[in-house]
A = this chain, B = another copy of it.
């Protein structure tokens, strides 16, 4: 199968087959990263720009490692350094990076839709590393990859997403991806953070964690973003944690072999107790490992498209 996209910007635009194609490619990449010599020359001589308008350690590092394993030439722009870039319009930045020879631009931006602006204005391939509250496709793909690895399938699984759905691009991308691959999705959180409009075929909304946990195969906890919006919507972290934190106790309500996921970094004692974070059913660190393989696949497939089509 040939990958037919110049850009990977959202899960919404991908078909189920395309998602599975990325996951299968990631499996091959994971095999590379488990060798002693974790490096292939696939992107040698290709310039990849990491253009991060929001602070990010984890996602940026994961992409950077993925790029290095593919032997790309890497240029990093982080929000603090890119003062000049910020003075320009996004469109001018895109054209300038293209003129410098950038083939792939990995962008994170606080504005939903920014990757589309970039994609429209440049012939470079755009990979979305998170835009506003909109999508975070690489996180979702690594979550789907991890679920498939642990459960052997995604279809017909009951997946519960817990927390600040409203402000979460991880939630939006995962709802899209899970539905496309045939899973059933439950959302739970405070009413102010789980608006009605998320209800759709295949998605059920809950406000009570215990109730939502019944018959669940996979739990995806969202991060409480102390530095961001979440706190405007509920009284205190303590209260949040009391009602929506995962504990050894409420975890018993879910299926016995439930899989526990979190995009990291965990606020221990907030989204979940340390007991849960370190439970044998928690695959949080496996998600981190898979993140490298999935991002290698995203880079590899867009680069393949370029060498086939340009």
Q: Measuring CB to CB, which residues of chain A are less than 8 angstroms from any residue of chain B?
A: 33, 35-39, 44-47, 55-58, 61-62, 64-65, 68-69, 73, 75, 77-78, 80-85, 87-89, 92, 95-96, 98-101, 264-268, 285-286, 288-289, 291-292, 307
Contact = CB atoms under 8 A, between A and B. Distances in A.
A101 B65 CA distance: 9
8 contacts: A37-B44, A55-B83, A57-B81, A64-B75, A65-B101, A85-B265, A99-B285, A100-B291
Contacts of A266: 88, 92
Given A38-B45, A45-B69, A100-B289, 13 more contacts: A35-B45, A38-B47, A39-B73, A57-B85, A68-B75, A69-B73, A89-B268, A92-B265, A96-B265, A96-B288, A99-B286, A100-B291, A100-B292
A142 to B, nearest CB: 12
Nearest to A103: B38
Could you say how many copies of this chain the assembly holds? 3
Given A95-B285, A96-B285, A57 B83 contact: yes
A68 B167 CA distance: 39
A288 B57 contact: no
Contacts of A87: 265, 267
A5 to B, nearest CB: 20
A45 B70 CA distance: 10
A307 B38 CA distance: 13
A44 B68 CA distance: 11
Given A96-B265, A289-B100, A292-B100, A55 B73 contact: no
A96 B264 contact: yes
A61 B44 contact: no
B289 A33 contact: no
A58 B292 CA distance: 29
Contact of A39 (B39, B45, B56, B84): B45
Q: Which 3 A-B pairs have the closest CB atoms?
A: A39-B45, A99-B288, A57-B84
Given A78-B81, A285-B95, A65 B47 contact: yes
A215 B299 CA distance: 50
Given A45-B39, A101-B292, A288-B100, A84 B56 contact: yes
A233 B55 CA distance: 37
Nearest to A85: B57
A82 B57 contact: yes
A84 B52 CA distance: 14
Given A36-B45, A65-B47, A84 B55 contact: yes
